[in-house]
């Protein structure tokens, strides 16, 4: 067939396709909207973060270290062109002195804060609006601080009043109205407090062993060529990043960790969105099948007139593609709208500049996947065209041409591979894509089989004694060609996805927010100086703390592994091995003890087994990261004193007991004389936690108390927020399932109208007919809901146990309510679609008008 005739025939064939287009749009549109929304949101976020890289970083360039900069680094920094400033950051405690006596049950008087010590010309980039509206340098006298309003609110102090920081008094000179280099909503240990560098020097906080991050911020001179700046940055990185403890970041990096986190989240959410599109694909297959079924006569005529089956398939395939594209387009537009809406709704959480909803890459992704899915699911259904016998023009009941088995098998394989491909596109990881496809296929198979099994059961239920409506509903359920199985499959899959996500998230959060193991510490105390320990433990025991446990902490640098310099080892690691490099170059924390805590299990070697060497025991994964094995020799620099240790055992640590645990444990008798701090853990009575923090803040201002409950609550909150997003996406799947149910109902509307007409002629009222229809749809929903709920329960149990090792508590309420809920939804959706069929006047239908 020539191209001209083909396109003319195409246009002629597509007359009367409006209903089909609407259905395609609905099926594919939900899925494509979800995909475009997720991809668009993550793309927009990344774009915003990248464009805000400078304000978020606070400069063009940032060089940071946990220890004072070595001379080589200082020299390198001096040689750089541009404006620079030094910053010190640490977590510490602010204490409101107020009345001396710690009042019983009064509001907390001490608070963990994120302290930033600055000097002019800070800030180099980005907005810092203060209240009163004066420059930071003006407000920060050596005895002043500027704090986030949260601090004032929680401690009950006002501007002009005094607080105690690091044992010294400071006046609150103002509050922060807006700060550019902070992403609101990100994980914060405490409110931000600014102090001058001189102010920090007044306290003893930046003294020995404290975990102060020292940072040099630099802006290149105005008008520096971008390529030149890039070269300087790369050169600097190459020089400095193998120096232990140094990290170089520039505006070019654009917050890599943050963007990677966004990307990872987007990948996961993208797969959830994909599920709703694939569910829509089932609807596409159904529509195409119904479409071909309705065109059998026309197809027979065409074949009779001499159109080959290949030409006929192509005709319908192109129409399918066209409908798929149009449907996807509508969905994509909806997706863009969603991104814009989210940007508006959460504008206070986002960096200034908001979100740009126009994300061409996301659009392309949505359109491509939508078109792909419509072809993937539609074309196999089109193969039915081959089976239309031309003899049908003479005999309606002419046997269909037998289907070719190899073709059907090929079709199945292509479908599976195609779904895998879409999963790969969304996740970018072949392994995840394979697991996803297998999981989905298995779920679909189980659903289909269960559906069929249940239908078989229904067929064999004795119906005579049931009421009319119930009997009619059951009969309609098992009628051949009712498309019941695919409706159940689609709706069941949607239910399964939503419930599975909800169940996993529920139990996971519950575990997080639950009471900690009954003997786990509720608080950790950091940075206790050795001479402070007596006093601190006295405070603890006075206030009723139990299970007080403390260990010494010696900080050291790892200088060589098995003879190779760590800077050489680090220099060899590029790109993604950044985490491993950090394990090598960071400040190591060693402890010493005779016996290991119960949550440590030796997996190789033996503890303190070699009398001839100074021994260290390594945590297994950590050993892998630094490239050490049993028998390796590690060289350390302990505050200037060299130390050589031999690895005589490897162990695994169960971090979930929340006990104090270390990557590196040294045998007793080696580090006792080394400069050290104490790290302590204790169980504090809940009512005394605040008071203990106040007392410690007053007498030992450098000690940091971290309450594990708070941290866990924060994490649980984040997890539940994520869960919300995932649930919303899961709902798209249910929506797609309902659309398919509605579609299969409306596809049969002609038959249904005739049925209703006949019923009315026979004396059934409209209400009676509606009830019969409602029961039919409700049954479909019930079966789908039951199977989906059971599937979700089983799947969640497996996932929680295997992946998260969290106990699973199936909820009886959920198991009963969910299927009922789906059933009601289905009945409502079905009735909504059947309104026209119910209103029909019997005579019209019977006359065939």
| Alpha carbon separation from 291 to 16, 22, 415 (Å, rounded) | 11, 14, 20
CB nearer to other proteins: pick between 8 and 510: 8
Structure tokens of 44?
Answer: 């927009």
CB nearer to other proteins: pick between 389 and 675: 389
| Smallest gap from residue 318 Cβ to other proteins (A) | 16
Does 308 participate in binding other proteins (rule CB under 8 A)?
yes
| Smallest gap from residue 270 Cβ to other proteins (A) | 40
| Smallest gap from residue 402 Cβ to other proteins (A) | 11
> Could you say which of 189, 228, 261, 304 contacts other proteins (CB under 8 A)?
304
Residues 6+ apart with CB under 8 A from 162: 97, 169, 170, 171, 172
Structure tokens of 74?
Answer: 């200082």
Give the relative orientation of helices 812-838 and 484-513 as an angle to the nearest 10 degrees: 150
CB nearer to other proteins: pick between 3 and 812: 3
Stretch that binds other proteins, among 305-313, 608-616, 629-637, 839-847 (CB under 8 A): 305-313
| Smallest gap from residue 292 Cβ to other proteins (A) | 15
CB nearer to other proteins: pick between 76 and 388: 388
Does 621 participate in binding other proteins (rule CB under 8 A)?
no
| Smallest gap from residue 19 Cβ to other proteins (A) | 14
Quote the CA–CA distance of 343 and 45 in Å, as a whole number. 10
Q: Give phi and psi for 317, each to the nearest 5.
A: -65, -45
| Nearest alpha-carbon partner for 700 in 169, 166, 200 | 166
| Smallest gap from residue 316 Cβ to other proteins (A) | 13
The string of DSSP codes covering 450-480 is HHHHHHHHHHTS--TTS-HHHHHHHHHHH-T
DSSP 611: T
| Nearest alpha-carbon partner for 420 in 368, 352, 475, 373 | 373
Give the relative orientation of helices 708-747 and 18-51 as an angle to the nearest 10 degrees: 160
CB nearer to other proteins: pick between 8 and 153: 8
Stretch that binds other proteins, among 202-210, 294-302, 343-351, 692-700 (CB under 8 A): 294-302
| Smallest gap from residue 841 Cβ to other proteins (A) | 21
> Could you say which of 101, 227, 305, 812 contacts other proteins (CB under 8 A)?
305
Does residue 135 contact residue 194 with C-beta atoms inside 8 Å?
no
Could you count the other beta carbons within 10 Å of the beta carbon of residue 744? Answer: 24
Quote the CA–CA distance of 296 and 820 in Å, as a whole number. 38
Does 479 participate in binding other proteins (rule CB under 8 A)?
no
| Smallest gap from residue 293 Cβ to other proteins (A) | 15
Does 307 participate in binding other proteins (rule CB under 8 A)?
yes
Does 303 participate in binding other proteins (rule CB under 8 A)?
yes
The string of DSSP codes covering 248-292 is EEETTT--HHHHHHHHHHHHHHHHHHHHHHHHHHHHHHHHHHHHH
CB nearer to other proteins: pick between 94 and 292: 292
Residues 6+ apart with CB under 8 A from 849: none
- Determine if residue 633 is left, alpha or beta; phi over 0 gives left, psi from -120 to 50 gives alpha, anything else beta: beta
CB nearer to other proteins: pick between 297 and 724: 297
The string of DSSP codes covering 339-399 is HHHHHHHTTTTSPTT------HHHHHHHHHHHHHHHHHHHHHHHGGGGG--GGGGT-TTPP
Quote the CA–CA distance of 115 and 205 in Å, as a whole number. 11
| Smallest gap from residue 397 Cβ to other proteins (A) | 9
> Could you say which of 183, 258, 301, 321 contacts other proteins (CB under 8 A)?
301
| Smallest gap from residue 784 Cβ to other proteins (A) | 35
| Cα Rg of the chain, angstroms | 34
| Smallest gap from residue 328 Cβ to other proteins (A) | 25
CB nearer to other proteins: pick between 404 and 519: 404
Does residue 510 contact residue 720 with C-beta atoms inside 8 Å?
no
Stretch that binds other proteins, among 1-9, 447-455, 495-503, 598-606 (CB under 8 A): 1-9
What does the buried/exposed string (b/e) look like for 339-361 if buried means 16 or more CB atoms within 10 Å of the residue's CB? bbebbeeeeeebbeeebbbebee
| Smallest gap from residue 748 Cβ to other proteins (A) | 20
Site string for other proteins, 333-372 (x = CB under 8 A): ----------------------------------------
Count Cβ atoms within 10 A of the Cβ of residue 814 and give its class: 0-12 exposed, 13-18 middle, 19 or more buried.
middle
CB nearer to other proteins: pick between 15 and 847: 15
> Could you say which of 257, 297, 724, 844 contacts other proteins (CB under 8 A)?
297
> Could you say which of 105, 160, 223, 306 contacts other proteins (CB under 8 A)?
306
CB nearer to other proteins: pick between 310 and 547: 310
Stretch that binds other proteins, among 297-305, 316-324, 671-679, 798-806 (CB under 8 A): 297-305
| Smallest gap from residue 375 Cβ to other proteins (A) | 23
CB nearer to other proteins: pick between 313 and 814: 313
Residue 235 in 3-state DSSP?
Answer: helix
CB nearer to other proteins: pick between 207 and 400: 400
| Alpha carbon separation from 323 to 26, 294, 370, 422 (Å, rounded) | 11, 17, 10, 19
- Determine if residue 562 is left, alpha or beta; phi over 0 gives left, psi from -120 to 50 gives alpha, anything else beta: left
> Could you say which of 302, 350, 504, 682 contacts other proteins (CB under 8 A)?
302
Could you count the other beta carbons within 10 Å of the beta carbon of residue 104? Answer: 7
> Could you say which of 309, 434, 639, 811 contacts other proteins (CB under 8 A)?
309
Site string for other proteins, 381-410 (x = CB under 8 A): -----x--xxx-xxx--xx-x---------
Residue 214 parent element (H or E): strand 213-219
> Could you say which of 134, 230, 310, 751 contacts other proteins (CB under 8 A)?
310
Binding residues with other proteins: total (CB under 8 A):
31
| Alpha carbon separation from 777 to 75, 228, 449 (Å, rounded) | 77, 69, 19
Side-chain-side CA neighbours of 598 within 13 Å: the count stands at 5
Does residue 590 contact residue 662 with C-beta atoms inside 8 Å?
yes
Q: Report 2-21 residues binding other proteins (CB under 8 A).
A: 2, 5, 8, 12-13, 15-16
Site string for other proteins, 116-155 (x = CB under 8 A): ----------------------------------------
The angle at the Cα of 89, spanning 582 to 160, to the nearest 5 degrees, equals 165
Stretch that binds other proteins, among 166-174, 304-312, 665-673, 791-799 (CB under 8 A): 304-312
Q: How many residues does the chain have?
A: 849
| Smallest gap from residue 381 Cβ to other proteins (A) | 19
CB nearer to other proteins: pick between 72 and 308: 308
Stretch that binds other proteins, among 306-314, 545-553, 567-575, 687-695 (CB under 8 A): 306-314
| Smallest gap from residue 407 Cβ to other proteins (A) | 14
CB nearer to other proteins: pick between 65 and 319: 319
CB nearer to other proteins: pick between 405 and 762: 405
CB nearer to other proteins: pick between 304 and 761: 304
CB nearer to other proteins: pick between 293 and 442: 293
Q: Which residues bind other proteins (CB under 8 A)?
A: 1-2, 5, 8, 12-13, 15-16, 297-298, 300-310, 386, 389-391, 393-395, 398-399, 401
């Amino acid at each position: 067939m020539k191209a001209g005739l083909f396109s003319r025939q195409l246009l002629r064939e597509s007359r009367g396709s409006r209903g089909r287009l609407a259905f395609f749009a609905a099926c594919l549109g939900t899925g494509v909207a979800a995909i475009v929304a997720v991809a668009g949101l993550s793309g927009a976020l990344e774009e915003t973060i990248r464009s805000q890289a400078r304000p978020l970083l606070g400069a063009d360039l940032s060089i940071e270290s946990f220890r004072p900069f070595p001379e080589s680094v200082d020299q390198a920094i001096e040689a750089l062109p541009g404006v620079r400033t030094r910053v010190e950051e640490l977590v510490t405690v602010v204490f409101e002195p107020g009345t001396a006596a710690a009042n019983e049950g009064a509001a907390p008087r001490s608070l963990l804060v994120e302290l930033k010590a600055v000097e002019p010309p800070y800030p180099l980039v980005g907005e810092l609006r203060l209240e009163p509206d004066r420059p930071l340098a003006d407000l920060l006298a050596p005895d002043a601080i500027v704090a986030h309003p949260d601090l004032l609110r929680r401690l009950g102090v006002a501007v002009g009043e005094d607080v105690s920081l690091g044992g010294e008094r400071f006046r609150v000179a103002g509050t922060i109205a807006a700060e550019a280099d902070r992403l609101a909503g990100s994980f914060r240990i405490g409110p931000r407090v600014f102090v001058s560098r001189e102010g920090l020097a007044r306290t003893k906080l930046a003294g020995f062993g404290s975990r102060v991050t020292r940072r040099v911020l630099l802006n290149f001179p105005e008008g520096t060529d971008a390529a030149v700046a890039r070269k300087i940055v790369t050169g600097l990185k190459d020089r400095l990043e193998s120096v232990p403890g140094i990290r170089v970041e520039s505006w070019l990096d654009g917050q890599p960790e943050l963007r990677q986190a966004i990307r990872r989240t987007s990948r996961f959410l993208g797969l959830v969105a994909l599920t709703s599109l694939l569910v829509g694909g089932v609807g596409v297959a159904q529509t195409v099948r119904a479409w071909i079924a309705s065109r059998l006569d026309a197809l027979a005529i065409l074949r009779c007139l001499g159109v080959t089956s290949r030409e006929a398939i192509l005709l319908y395939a192109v129409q399918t593609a066209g409908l798929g594209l149009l449907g996807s387009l509508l969905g994509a537009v909806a997706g863009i709208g969603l991104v814009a809406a989210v940007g508006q709704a959460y504008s206070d959480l986002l960096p200034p500049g908001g979100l740009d909803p126009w994300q061409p890459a996301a659009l392309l992704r949505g359109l491509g996947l939508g078109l792909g899915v419509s072809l993937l699911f539609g074309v196999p259904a089109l193969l039915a065209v081959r089976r239309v016998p031309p003899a049908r023009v003479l005999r309606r009941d002419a046997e269909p041409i037998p289907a070719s088995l190899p073709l059907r098998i090929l079709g199945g394989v292509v479908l599976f591979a195609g779904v895998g491909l879409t999963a790969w596109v969304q996740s970018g990881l072949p392994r995840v894509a394979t697991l996803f496809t297998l999981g989905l296929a298995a779920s679909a198979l189980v659903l289909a089989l269960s559906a069929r099994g249940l239908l078989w059961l229904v067929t064999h239920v004795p119906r005579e004694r049931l009421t009319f409506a119930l009997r009619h509903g059951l009969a309609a359920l098992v009628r051949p060609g009712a498309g019941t199985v695919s409706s159940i499959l689609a709706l069941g899959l949607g239910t399964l996805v939503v419930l599975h996500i909800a169940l996993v998230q529920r139990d996971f959060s519950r575990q997080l927010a639950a009471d900690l193991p009954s003997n786990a510490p509720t608080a950790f105390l950091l940075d206790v100086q050795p001479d402070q320990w007596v006093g601190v433990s006295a405070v603890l025991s006075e206030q009723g703390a139990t299970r007080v446990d403390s260990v010494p902490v010696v900080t050291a640098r790892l200088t060589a592994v098995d003879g190779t310099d760590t800077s050489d080892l680090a220099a060899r690691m590029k790109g993604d091995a950044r985490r491993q490099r950090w394990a090598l170059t960071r400040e190591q924390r060693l402890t010493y003890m005779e016996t290991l805590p119960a949550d440590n299990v030796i997996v190789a070697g033996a503890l303190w087994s070699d009398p001839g060497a100074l021994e260290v025991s390594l945590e297994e994964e950590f050993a892998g990261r630094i490239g050490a094995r049993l028998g390796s020799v590690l060289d350390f620099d302990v505050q200037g004193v060299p130390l050589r240790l031999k690895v005589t055992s490897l162990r695994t640590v169960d971090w979930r007991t929340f006990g104090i645990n270390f990557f590196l444990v040294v045998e007793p008798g080696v580090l006792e004389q080394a400069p050290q701090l104490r790290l302590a853990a204790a169980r504090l009575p809940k009512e005394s936690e605040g008071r203990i923090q106040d007392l410690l803040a007053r007498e030992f201002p450098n000690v940091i108390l971290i309450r594990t409950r708070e941290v866990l609550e924060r994490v649980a909150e984040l997890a539940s927020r994520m869960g919300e997003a995932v649930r919303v996406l899961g709902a798209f799947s249910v929506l797609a399932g309902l659309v398919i149910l509605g579609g299969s109902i409306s596809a049969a509307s002609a038959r249904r109208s005739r049925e209703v007409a006949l019923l009315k002629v026979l004396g059934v009222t409209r209400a009676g007919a509606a009830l019969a229809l409602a029961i039919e749809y409700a049954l479909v929903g019930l079966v789908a809901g039951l199977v989906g709920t059971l599937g979700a329960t089983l799947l969640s149990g497996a996932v929680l146990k295997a992946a998260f090792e969290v106990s699973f508590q199936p909820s009886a309420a959920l198991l009963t309510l969910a299927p009922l809920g789906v059933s009601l939804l289905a009945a409502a959706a079905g009735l909504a679609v059947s309104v026209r069929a119910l209103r029909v006047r019997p005579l019209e239908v019977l006359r065939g008008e």
